[in-house]
Chain A
Amino acid sequence: MRLWWNKIWPPLVAVLFLLGIWQLSTSLFEIEKWILPSPINIAREVLTESSRLWEHTLATVKLTGIGFTIGTSVGLLIAIVLHSIPFLKSALYPLLILSQNVPTIALAPLLMIWFGFGLLPKIIVITLVCFFPVAIAMMSGLRQTDPIMLSYMRMIGASKRQIFVKLELPHALPSIFSGIKIAATYSVMGAVIAEWIGSDKGIGYYMMLQKSSYRTDRVFIAISIIVMLSLTMFAIIALLEKWFVRWNRRQES
Chain B
Amino acid sequence: MLESPIQQYPNIRGEVTSVAPALKVTDIHKSFNRRQQGLPVLKGVSLTVEQGEFVSIVGPSGCGKSTLFHIVGGLVQPDSGKVWMNGHEVTGERGHISFMPQQPALFPWRTIEDNVILAQEVKGISKREARRDARKWIAKVGLSGFEEAYPHMLSGGMQQRASFLRALLSPEELMCLDEPFSALDALTRSDMQRWLLDIWEENRRSVLLITHNIEEALLLSNRIYVFSSRPGTVLQEIAVPFPRPRREEITEDPTFLALKRDLSNWMKEEQHKMQILR
Contact residues of A with B, CB < 8 Å? 146, 148-149, 151-158, 162, 166-167, 170-171, 173, 245, 247-249
Contact A156 B97, beta carbon cutoff 8 Å:
yes
- Other CB < 8 Å A-B pairs besides A153-B122, A158-B122, 11 of them? A146-B105, A148-B101, A155-B94, A155-B97, A156-B99, A156-B122, A157-B73, A157-B94, A157-B95, A158-B95, A248-B108
Query: How many Å lie between the Cα of A248 and that of B153 in the bound state?
Result: 11
Contact B98 A148, beta carbon cutoff 8 Å:
no
Q: Note all chain A residues with C-beta closer than 8 A to B122.
A: 153, 156-158, 162, 166
Closest to B108 in A: A247
Query: How many Å lie between the Cα of A154 and that of B102 in the bound state?
Result: 15
1/0 contact string of B103-122 vs chain A (CB within 8 Å): 10101111000000011011
List, sorted by A's number, 23 A–B pairs whose CB atoms are closer than 8 Å.
Answer: A148-B105, A149-B105, A151-B101, A152-B99, A153-B122, A154-B94, A155-B69, A155-B73, A155-B94, A156-B95, A156-B97, A156-B98, A156-B122, A157-B73, A157-B94, A157-B96, A157-B97, A158-B95, A158-B122, A166-B122, A173-B109, A248-B108, A249-B108
Majority secondary structure, A binding face: helix
Query: How many Å lie between the Cα of A128 and that of B170 in the bound state?
Result: 46
Q: How far is the CB of B102 from chain A (nearest CB, A)?
A: 8
Q: Of B99, B109, B150, which is within 8 A of A155 by CB?
A: B99
Q: Note all chain A residues with C-beta closer than 8 A to B70.
A: 155
Contact B108 A166, beta carbon cutoff 8 Å:
no
Q: A155-B73, A166-B118, A166-B122 are in contact. Are A247 and B109 (CB under 8 A)?
A: yes
Q: Note all chain B residues with C-beta closer than 8 A to A155.
A: 69-70, 73, 75, 94, 97, 99, 101, 176
Q: With an 8 A cutoff between CB atoms, is B10 at the interface?
A: no
Q: How far is the CB of B106 from chain A (nearest CB, A)?
A: 9
Q: How far is the CB of B112 from chain A (nearest CB, A)?
A: 12
Contact B73 A247, beta carbon cutoff 8 Å:
no
Query: How many Å lie between the Cα of A158 and that of B108 in the bound state?
Result: 18
Query: How many Å lie between the Cα of A53 and that of B107 in the bound state?
Result: 49
Majority secondary structure, B binding face: loop
Q: With an 8 A cutoff between CB atoms, is B81 at the interface?
A: no
Q: How far is the CB of A56 from chain B (nearest CB, A)?
A: 42
Q: Note all chain A residues with C-beta closer than 8 A to B140.
A: none
Q: Note all chain A residues with C-beta closer than 8 A to B103.
A: 148
Contact A152 B105, beta carbon cutoff 8 Å:
yes
Closest to B121 in A: A166
Q: With an 8 A cutoff between CB atoms, is B92 at the interface?
A: no
Query: How many Å lie between the Cα of A154 and that of B150 in the bound state?
Result: 23
Q: How far is the CB of B147 from chain A (nearest CB, A)?
A: 15
Query: How many Å lie between the Cα of A154 and that of B95 in the bound state?
Result: 8
Interface centre among B74, B105, B121, B172 (most CB of A within 10 A): B105
Interface residues of B in 32-86 (CB under 8 A from A): 69-70, 73-75
Closest to B69 in A: A155
Query: How many Å lie between the Cα of A170 and that of B176 in the bound state?
Result: 26
Closest to A149 in B: B105
Query: How many Å lie between the Cα of A172 and that of B105 in the bound state?
Result: 16
Q: How far is the CB of A18 from chain B (nearest CB, A)?
A: 42
Contact A249 B152, beta carbon cutoff 8 Å:
yes
Contact B150 A247, beta carbon cutoff 8 Å:
yes
Contact A149 B94, beta carbon cutoff 8 Å:
no
Closest to A162 in B: B122
Query: How many Å lie between the Cα of A247 and that of B101 in the bound state?
Result: 22
Q: Note all chain A residues with C-beta closer than 8 A to B121.
A: 166
Q: How far is the CB of A42 from chain B (nearest CB, A)?
A: 46
Contact B105 A170, beta carbon cutoff 8 Å:
no
Q: Note all chain A residues with C-beta closer than 8 A to B75.
A: 151, 154-155
